Structure 1
Amino acid sequence: MRVTLLGTGDTTGTPTICCDCDTCAEARRRGVERSRFSVHVENERTGESLLIDASPDFRQQFLDHEVPLPDAIVISHIHFDHLDGLGNAYRLFDDLPVYAADEVDPVTEESVADTVRSKYDYLDRITVEDVTPFETVRMCGLDVTLVPVDHPPLVCYGLTVEDPETGAKLSLSGDTSYGIPAESREVLANPDLFLADAIVPASLCEYHPIGGKDENEDGVPRTFGSKHMTREGALELADELEADVTRLVHTAHFYPVDEAFEEPLAVDGEQYDL
């Protein structure tokens, strides 16, 4: 199972358009991209590949990285930076299965799957497949399980991808606070590779309108605001899950420049063979 990080940034990416902050300037100097979030998983045994989230940067990601177009896509939630790349299905695919959760969101009064159907009803190239959280579904010869996480006010899902023959396991936290339910943590546990949402370091919580929460015993916030983990929270979660390798994703250009390119923050184009 080959995992390629196509997009490792948050909703604006790094470098951010028209931003002259030190971090964006250094990213340009280094030639580093953190485009909007997307992960490519290739099953080298079957020659099939799965895309996790459809970034608005879909076109450039597939031009920049030598990976095949996906045979299926999983959508974690309906925020534009994880969904709007589906428009690229036009002229690229004859029939593309798109998997999404079937739980009804009390805010939108429809499931993620239903939102994808309604938003892309003009695209006859995609077929939306409903997935029930905690129920494993075989996609591209790999076993995928969606798990609820905490990304208010909308429902959002993390997931695992496992190779049924080798036992290799990839876990993604999804966009989430540190407050992931215990049942979901059990599913995410013991991955070979863990991709964890870590939007900013905990030191920046003082600049958020509602600060941070989920403080550890040393008073360090593990959640920035209410929707995303801090770097410190993501690393603590990785330790709890006993991840072999952890990469921090969905990171923002607000990281101070002397921290923005340190391990284990990921950048676009990283590949892992599990």
Structure 2
Amino acid sequence: MRVTLLGTGDTTGTPTVGCDCETCVAARERGLERTRFSVHVENDRTGESLLVDFSPDFRYQFLRDDVALPDAGIITHIHFDHLDGLGNVFRVFDSLDVYAADETDPKTGLSVAETVASDYDYLDTVTVQPTTPLEPVRICGFDVTLVPVEHPPLLCYGLAIEDPETGAKLSLSGDTSYGIPDRSREILANPDLLLADAIVPARFCDHHPVGGRHKGPDGIPRTFGTKHMTREGALALASDLEAEQTRLVHLAHYYPLEEAFAEPLAVDGEQYLLPE
């Protein structure tokens, strides 16, 4: 299993357009990027590849990192920074299966699968495959399981991707608070590599209108506001899940320069071969 981090940033990315903060300036000077979120997973056994989320930066990411176009895709939720890159498949693919959860979202009255099908009904090449969370489905030779996480007000999902032959396992928290349900945690547990949402350091909760939640024994918030984990929350989740290796993703440019590119914060283009 070869994992390429195409996009490791939040909704504005780093550097952020029009921003001259120290972190964005340093990213430009060092040639480092965190574009909008997307992960490419290649099955070395079958030669197939799977794309998790369709970043608005799809075209740029694939040209920059020179990975194979995917044989299938997964959409974790319907926020634009994870979905709107799907329009890039126009005239690029002959056909593409896109998997998304089939649970009805009480906020929208539609499932993620139904929303994707409706928003991209003009793309004849895309076939949406409604997928039941917590039940594995075989995609590109991998066993893939969507797991509910907590990203209000919309339904959102993390993922466990396992190679049934090699035993390699990749887990993605998805966009989520620390309040991930127990059953989802069981499925995500013991990965070779965990990609965990860590939008900002915990101390930034002081600047959020609703502050922080899910405080650990040390009193440090593991959730920033309601939707995302803090860095400290993501690291606590990695410990909970007993991850072999962890990379922090969906990162905002608000990380101070002295912390912005420190381990284990990821940047675009990182590649991992599982198991190593």
Secondary structure in 2 aligned to 1:151? coil
Structure 2 length as normaliser, TM-score? 0.99
Query: Residues 235-250 of structure 1: matches in 2 within 5 Å?
Result: 235-250=235-250
Task: Report what 1:136 is aligned to.
Answer: 136
Structure 1 length as normaliser, TM-score? 1.00
Aligned counterparts of 1:25 and 1:258: Cα–Cα separation in 2? 13
1:218 aligns to 2:200 (yes or no): no
Post-superposition shift, 1:66?
2.0
Query: Residues 118-157 of structure 1: matches in 2 within 5 Å?
Result: 118-157=118-157
Aligned counterparts of 2:204 and 2:29: Cα–Cα separation in 1? 24
Question: What whole-Å deviation, never above 9, does each CA across 1:115-169 have from its counterpart, x for those lacking one?
Answer: 0000001110100001000110000111100000000000000001100100000
Question: Which residue identity lines up with residue 59 of structure 2 in the other structure?
Answer: R
Secondary structure in 1 aligned to 2:4? strand
**How many residue pairs end up in the alignment?**
274
Query: Residues 113-262 of structure 1: matches in 2 within 5 Å?
Result: 113-262=113-262
Aligned counterparts of 1:88 and 1:97: Cα–Cα separation in 2? 14
Question: What whole-Å deviation, never above 9, does each CA across 1:56-92 have from its counterpart, x for those lacking one?
Answer: 0000000000210000000000000000010011000
Task: Report what 1:25 is aligned to.
Answer: 25
Moved over 3 A (4+): none
Post-superposition shift, 1:217?
1.1
Aligned counterparts of 2:44 and 2:64: Cα–Cα separation in 1? 20
Task: Report what 2:85 is aligned to.
Answer: 85
Aligned counterparts of 2:61 and 2:23: Cα–Cα separation in 1? 21
Question: Which residue identity lines up with residue 252 of structure 2 in the other structure?
Answer: A
Aligned counterparts of 1:25 and 1:225: Cα–Cα separation in 2? 27
Question: Which residue identity lines up with residue 141 of structure 2 in the other structure?
Answer: G
Aligned counterparts of 2:88 and 2:125: Cα–Cα separation in 1? 10
1:61 aligns to 2:61 (yes or no): yes
Secondary structure in 2 aligned to 1:88? helix
Aligned counterparts of 1:10 and 1:121: Cα–Cα separation in 2? 27
Aligned counterparts of 1:171 and 1:273: Cα–Cα separation in 2? 14
Aligned counterparts of 2:141 and 2:179: Cα–Cα separation in 1? 31
1:265 aligns to 2:257 (yes or no): no
Question: Which residue identity lines up with residue 59 of structure 1 in the other structure?
Answer: R
Question: Which residue identity lines up with residue 256 of structure 2 in the other structure?
Answer: P
Task: Report what 2:74 is aligned to.
Answer: 74
Secondary structure in 2 aligned to 1:143? strand
Gaps of 5+ in 1: none
1:102 aligns to 2:86 (yes or no): no
Post-superposition shift, 1:218?
1.1
Aligned counterparts of 1:66 and 1:43: Cα–Cα separation in 2? 16
Aligned counterparts of 1:229 and 1:202: Cα–Cα separation in 2? 8
Aligned counterparts of 1:95 and 1:64: Cα–Cα separation in 2? 23
Secondary structure in 2 aligned to 1:76? coil
Question: Which residue identity lines up with residue 226 of structure 1 in the other structure?
Answer: T
Question: Which residue identity lines up with residue 57 of structure 1 in the other structure?
Answer: D
Aligned counterparts of 1:63 and 1:33: Cα–Cα separation in 2? 14
Secondary structure in 2 aligned to 1:259? helix
Aligned counterparts of 1:66 and 1:141: Cα–Cα separation in 2? 22
Question: What whole-Å deviation, never above 9, does each CA across 1:12-41 have from its counterpart, x for those lacking one?
Answer: 000000000111001111100000000000
Post-superposition shift, 1:11?
0.2
